[in-house]
Structure 1
């Protein structure tokens, strides 16, 4: 089925593999060439009605604490998932996302992610990239989520 033909309900059902608690580990590339460790717990749960997915983030990026909550829904007109994330630094980020088979892609104005679920659905590995407006994309983070 083409993503543009998905209803919000059928699109959200495809996100069932996210439900649960994940251990997230990775390496972040700083602009000065050094790297720091990413360590977090990501939890996904349905909002009652299962039209929206709630994503909680509780972790560290190097020495910095990271706490966030994200709401994920589906926009039927363009056939894409839409997300809004709120974090402990007061920042709000909006993204569009797609799920094709095991490939999960997130697209923002200055951040993007491309990753894939393992065969058993218990891992999600990928790369985040950053770009300033008009600049080329540069690798930012390698991450691996492993479901508990």
Structure 2
């Protein structure tokens, strides 16, 4: 990496990710299916900037019924060609998922991958958000998968920079 790479300013579009920065109490459920009951989800999500503000780090620490799930995700930087933010997540069960995030003029976020997609709506006051998730097995028939709600537990300024 050259010295120029270390001093490059983040894209201005990355500032839209600031709406996510902070600690969130998360709760929700995975929808019941014909063979599986609903699964309760509770825990926390934290979003913080990696130094340089090119990448947003998203950490998930939840219980899904009795199962503990941890995820680390890197979001960004903004890709002007696709007008999206690449997302790469890794969990404590060995799963790796790539998705792309986009945001519309009303501030509604869409996360899209090959088998999962979600719509995230941040409340006007910025203190809560909700997400509706869908999944597909064949790439064309999408089914409701999960509903999540998030309540801000701390302000962005309370997140220590590393």
CA distance in 2, matches of 1:124, 1:109: 24
Secondary structure of residue in 2 paired with 1:15? helix
Given the alignment of the two structures, is residue 17 of structure 1 paired with residue 19 of structure 2, yes or no? yes
CA distance in 1, matches of 2:152, 2:41: 16
**TM-score w.r.t. structure 2 length?**
0.83
CA distance in 2, matches of 1:80, 1:115: 15
CA distance in 1, matches of 2:37, 2:93: 23
Kindly name which structure, 1 or 2, has the bigger radius of gyration based on alpha carbons: 2
Q: 1:89 aligns with which of 86, 93, 96?
A: 93
Q: 2:144 aligns with which of 127, 131, 139?
A: 139
Q: Give the conservation status (yes or no) of the 8 Å contact 2:10–2:52.
A: no
Secondary structure of residue in 1 paired with 2:13? helix
Q: CA deviation at 1:133?
A: 2.0
Q: Give the conservation status (yes or no) of the 8 Å contact 1:102–1:118.
A: no
Question: Match for residue 27 of structure 1?
Answer: 29
Q: CA deviation at 1:145?
A: 0.8
Q: 1:124 aligns with which of 123, 129, 136?
A: 129
Q: CA deviation at 1:8?
A: 5.7
Secondary structure of residue in 2 paired with 1:77? coil
**TM-score w.r.t. structure 1 length?**
0.90
Give the root-mean-square deviation of aligned CA atoms: 1.5
Note the residue ranges of structure 2 that are not aligned, 5 or more in a row: 1-8, 154-162
Q: 1:108 aligns with which of 110, 113, 118?
A: 113
More strand by share: 1
